[in-house]
Structure 1
Amino acid sequence: MNGTQHISVVINTYNAEEHLKAVLEAVKDFDEIVICDMESTDQTLDIARSYNCKIVTFPKGNLRIVEPARQFAIDKASSPWVLVVDADEVVTPELRKYLYDAIQKDDCPDAIAIPRKNYFMGRMMHSSYPDYILRFLRRSKCSWPPVIHAAPKVDGNILKIPASRMELAFEHLANDSVADIIRKNNTYSDYEVPRRRKKNYGCMALIYRPAFRFFKSYFLKRGCRDGIPGLIHAVLDAGYQFAIVAKLLEEKQAKQG
């Protein structure tokens, strides 16, 4: 359908039944869909089979993050191009057409960063847009580190879709509650601690890092336009930074004691 160029959609899953049907419906016209499942116990695999997805398994073990399974999933794709989609992200028809048009051109970049629309308390958050994520990749030119929040490493050119092209943005279906965000912040901050040990934060970091994150989210990134949800989201962003620094200081105190 698209000449000699093909795109595989790669989706990592773990108990992803809530949004998976909508996600798969949006990508069913790509050349291949690879589901890399981390031993789901819900209806995830039944839904994937109903869409004739290629299913591979990555042992979950004690993992609470997806990054260790990213490269494994990409390696299982058969197309030269991969679009990595989370199990709660919808690809618009406009984005699909844009990507297929791009790979037909001789000057196509080796990776494309795609904006994403995020939602909280029922509304799109200005403070979280464009939230660029590097997800469209020439498979032979990328590698994905197994580290939380890591972006793929690309040996080549990278293009960013303009933020003004909102019709090309991923639609993030997750509409996390305050409790969800607090829970995720706790999990993610655990994984951030080993990454930031060399920073050697002092006590003042408990104040200036959360304060700057709040300022960035609420003012610089226009969260103030989002009313009460924007204010709450900015405070939660600040709390994430506080948790990281507090855990680092806790670890330092334990070593000194």
Structure 2
Amino acid sequence: MEGKRKRKLSVAIITFNEEKNIGDCIRSIESVADEIIVLDSLSTDRTKEIATSFSKVKFYESPFPGHVEQKNKAIGFCSNDWIFSLDADERADKTLVHSIEAFLESEVTTVDGYKIARLTYHLGRWIRHSGWYPLRRFRLFQRNAATWVGENPHDYIELKPGSVGKVMKGDILHYSFTDFSHQITTINQFSSIVAYTRYAKGERFSLSKTIFKPFGKFIEIYVFKFGFLDGIPGLWIAIASAFSTFLKFAKLYELDRKQIERPSNIRKEYGKN
């Protein structure tokens, strides 16, 4: 099948203690990959052992300066012009794999990147509303036409001006949280990163935003983004999103009042290039 291809594909994955996820992630995409770059930020579990058991994997290690920075670094290790980016807790579904294979076999294209929908499994069901789906973002792209940008940890691929993008059929399946407790732990960590990043950029605490922004976030997720159609999980997601918004401002308060220099749950190397 690979003999029919007009172009080669690199897959880029960043990891940290992903022994439970990395094997399934690689297996979902290895049939269309010419190489799989795994950039690990010094895991202490079996991530390296599992990843390097796959013949197509090229494994690298580097301290973790931030999501945007690490994903751009992973791109730098790729040797092919076309790159597909996955997180370790994501999988390419069969439709997406077929779409990628068809693209690799197609004639020369003027497209520089493809947006792909992501479908998240949480609280016992696939979440199809609440602003979580389809949430199409560029994931398959030409390396010279794209870069990772955004506010850590909420990164995304941005194509250069004048580039052409299209939508690709298929979903990235996202197994983001093992349970609600895991989601709360992630919210706590990510809100620390956002507060720390925003403070470093000059943003300061606002009491009015702390009061009103969480309420607005709940209405946005549950009503305007149809979270109520996701049942009880949709309600939990809306409440958790509002709580996450509150935490960002509460932690900004700590930083602004010099009560802390950085949130205690951020890794020491974070923010250091």
Contact 1:144 1:150 in 2 (8 A): yes
Contact 2:51 2:59 in 1 (8 A): no
* Aligned pairs (5 A) from 1:192-203: 192-197=194-199, 198-200=202-204, 202-203=206-207
* Matched letter for residue 145 of structure 2: K
* Equivalent residue in structure 2 for 1:45, among 25, 28, 48: 48
Instruction: For residue 160 of structure 1, report the CA deviation from its aligned partner.
Output: 4.9
Residue 180 of structure 1 is matched in structure 2 by 182
Instruction: For residue 105 of structure 1, report the CA deviation from its aligned partner.
Output: 4.5
2:254 corresponds to 1:250? yes
Residue 213 of structure 1 is matched in structure 2 by 217
Query: Given the superposition, is the C-alpha separation of residues 235 and 192 from structure 1 closer, same or farther in structure 2, using an over 3 Å criterion?
Result: same
2:168 corresponds to 1:157? no
- d(CA) in 2 for partners of 1:27 and 1:209? 39
Query: Given the superposition, is the C-alpha separation of residues 239 and 105 from structure 1 closer, same or farther in structure 2, using an over 3 Å criterion?
Result: farther
CA-atom RMSD in angstroms: 2.3
* Matched letter for residue 136 of structure 2: Y
Structure 2 length-normalised TM: 0.82
Structure 1 length-normalised TM: 0.86
Deviates more, 1:215-224 or 1:192-201: 192-201
- d(CA) in 1 for partners of 2:234 and 2:52? 39
Q: Which runs of 5+ in 1 are unaligned?
A: none
Offset from partner CA, 1:194-240 (integer Å, 9 cap, x none): 44344555212122211111111111121101221111111000111
- d(CA) in 2 for partners of 1:250 and 1:49? 42
- d(CA) in 2 for partners of 1:254 and 1:11? 36
SS across alignment from 1:233: helix
Contact 1:114 1:135 in 2 (8 A): yes
Deviates more, 1:216-225 or 1:52-61: 52-61
* Aligned pairs (5 A) from 1:10-159: 10-29=12-31, 30-60=33-63, 65-102=66-103, 104-125=106-127, 126-127=129-130, 128-145=132-149, 147-155=152-160, 156-159=162-165
Instruction: For residue 97 of structure 1, report the CA deviation from its aligned partner.
Output: 2.6
* Matched letter for residue 159 of structure 1: G
Higher strand share: 2
- d(CA) in 2 for partners of 1:108 and 1:183? 43
- d(CA) in 2 for partners of 1:208 and 1:47? 46
- d(CA) in 1 for partners of 2:216 and 2:188? 20
- d(CA) in 1 for partners of 2:179 and 2:164? 34
Higher helix share: 1
